[in-house]
Amino acid sequence: MIISELLEPLDLATLGIDLEKGWQTAAGTQEPLTRVLLIGGALADYRRLGRMLSGMEAHNYHLLWCEQYDDNSLGEINSGHYDAILLDCQHQPDKAMRLLTQLVEIGCQQPIVSLTDNSASVVAQRAMRNGSTDYLGMDTTDRYVLERCLGYAIEKNATDKKISQLNLYDPLTGIANRLMFQRNMARAIELAKTQQISLALLLINLDDFKRINQSFGTGAGDRLVTMMAQRLARCVRQSDAVARIGGDEFALVLEDSQTNEDIALVAQKVIDVLSAPCTLNGQAVIVSCSIGVATYPDSGDSVDGLIKYANMAMLEAKRQRGSQCCFYHEETSKAAVRRMNMEKDMRLALRRNEFELFYQPRVEIASGDAAGMEALIRWRHPVHGLVSPDEFIPMAEETGLIVPIGYWVLQQACKDMLILDQSGHQNLEVAVNLSFKQLQDDMFVDTATRIIQKSGIDASRLEFELTETAIMSNYQQACDGMMALSKLGVTFSLDDFGTGFSSFAHIQQLPISALKVDRSFIENVVKSNDDGIIVKAMINLAHSLRLHVVAEGAETLEQVQFLWQNHCDQIQGFYFSEAVTVNQFIELMDRRATATM
Ligand code: C2E
Ligand code: CA
Ligand code: CA
């Protein structure tokens, strides 16, 4: 292929252009503003066009000529060296059309103006159909028409580029959007197929993003997402490997990924980078993320399949506790199907009366008698049998079903208190677990008050157990609700104490009368010196704040002795009893009464 430059008068010899040797440009010419490449045509056309363009006063053009329609040089034509291409279609229209099609196929970045004999020619229409930006009938072309046509083509091309940029990039963060990501993924999968290599898709979802938006406002939420996108982009070598595919969701494609260990290392790096502290509205915030991974070819071989599986794995990571990475495997899929069905069934469970309330005694260490009990819900599923609350409560929280279920628990606990009273075991206290979602229900205080008052039980026999996390998820709302209910006489305890991050300054302001030391500390209280020291410290701390201490999950005599020696007030655990039905509870109490008579 030969590229020539026109200087008037054209003198090939003085320019040193060797028509056989290929690409050339004249050295030393001043860099012009607009570089136009003519492809095909005869020397006479080249000269004529060159003269027209060099006579332009307002604009500096530089015309180069490539005589052959040479498809070996597509890359060079598309290299970005030229601002516009004039494709001669007068002399060899078929060759010109073939080249045009090829240029369009490789995504040519330059505007292409096809030169035809006249404006009405069939070739002009073919050129437009095949992707030409515009065409020019040479019979009527003068320098003004030529300049107007080139100017229009260059401008239209720039606008088109901007529009496709908008369609493929996320306007907030500037990184690739979902559409671009899907295209890149499809290309990456094709490449992996032909090269027989694997690739990994990481779906990255920010944890608790909704809460950030609620607490700091959506403007701050947007700033956070932008910050996270920038951090992610810095983690990867290739800028388009990372995309924003949802409000707080990013995707990262690792091409030619090696082992699962390598992928896990990248995921860990992402978690570390994203969870570095950032400042929102002047406040330091730490945002973690959950990552789901699906790999080609192990997890699937289509874009949609990999997204679906990576999403399942991401939800699994969230369910576990967030801030971690899960790989998709078949079990994830089975568990997801079971969960989906469970969720469907749970919606009917209340109406079908499938929930049951069990009770576990809280034993007063000093007397050895049950002072009360904790109400623990069970679901008797028609197919799966007794389902653990650890499985269905998180699901009920996600779906909001915990709100009506919670009311049922409260109502049932009040009813069972009356049954206990009638059986002769009066004045027992009952503790009911409250989920953070229940506290966020605006009707909670009113509805709970109505249920308690309607039941006729003394409200001071009722305690609500709340975790630190539940209180801190919306401190003000929790505080207001607790204050209102405590006026009725209801008390509160801090559940799973030691596992949350609440500050004592906050806790002290709340109407809390007991701490429940989490089972994980009691488990090793005898075996581990550290846990022993921690539990002693917790008991002392609680007493100095005039709070009762309840130890959860005591299973052995040694644990009970340790707690007794260290002045814990109450113990709840398998050592005394598991959670049982109200009738079994009455039997337990009866037996104890007979034994101590
Ligand atoms: P939780 O509030 O920490 O309840 C104590 C859990 O520890 C109960 O599990 C109880 O059976 C178990 N446990 C008690 N003593 C021992 C022991 O000595 N050893 C062992 N290994 N475990 C012991 P359960 O009944 O499976 O409940 C699990 C969780 O489900 C509860 O943890 C609570 O967070 C939630 N939950 C249960 N019922 C309700 C409810 O009515 N409403 C709400 N919102 N959550 C509930
Ligand atoms: Ca509890
Ligand atoms: Ca607990």
State which CATH number among 3.30.413.10, 3.40.50.2300, 3.40.50.620, 3.40.47.10 fits the domain covering 2-168: 3.40.50.2300
Q: Which of 386, 552, 560 to mutate to test the pocket of ligand 1 (most atoms within 8 A of CB)?
A: 552
Which amino acid residue places its CA nearest to atom 4 of ligand 1? 376
DSSP secondary structure of 557-571: HHHHHHHHHTT--EE
Ligand 2: centre distance to CA 191 (Å): 53
- The one-letter amino acid code at 215 reads S
Q: Whose CA is nearest to atom 27 of ligand 1?
A: 389
What is the per-residue pLDDT across 367-382, written as a single tens digit (0 to 9) for each?
999 999 999 999 999 9
Angle at 473 (CA atoms; ends 468, 479), nearest 5 degrees: 75
Cβ 389 under 6 angstroms from ligand 1: yes
Cα–Cα distances in Å, from 201 out to 302, 311, 321, 439? 11, 10, 21, 38
455-482 pLDDT tens trace = 999 999 999 999 988 888 788 899 999 9
Q: What is the pLDDT of residues 245-274, one digit of tens each?
A: 999 999 999 987 678 888 998 999 999 999
Mean pLDDT over the full length of the chain: 88
Domain boundaries, the chain: 2-168, 178-328, 345-595
Q: Which CATH class is domain 345-595?
A: alpha beta
Q: How far is the CA of 495 from the centre of ligand 3 (A)?
A: 5
Instruction: Name 64's bridge partners.
Output: 5, 37
Least distant ligand from the CA of 496: 3
Distance between first and last Cα of the chain:
111
Q: Which bound ligand lies closest to the C-alpha atom of 517?
A: 3
375 CA → ligand 1 middle, Å: 9
Atom of ligand 1 nearest to the CA of 376: 38
The pLDDT score that the predictor gives to residue 22 is 32
Q: Supply the pTM of this predicted model.
A: 0.60
Q: Greater confidence, 507 or 146?
A: 146
Please list, in sequence order, all residues whose beta carbon lies within 8 angstroms of the beta carbon of residue 363, skipping any fewer than 6 positions away: 369, 370, 371, 570, 571, 572, 576
If you measure from the C-alpha of residue 584 to the centroid of ligand 1, how many angstroms do you get, rounded to a whole number? 18
CATH number for 178-328 (one of 2.60.40.10, 3.30.70.270, 3.30.1490.390, 3.30.1280.10): it is: 3.30.70.270
- Residue whose C-alpha is closest to residue 293's, from 313, 268, 273: 313
Please give the number of the atom of ligand 1 that sits closest to the Cα of 575: 18
Query: Where does the pLDDT of residue 105 fall: very low under 50, low under 70, confident under 90, or very high at 90 and above?
Result: confident
Give the Cα separation of 248 and 270 in Å (integer).
Answer: 15
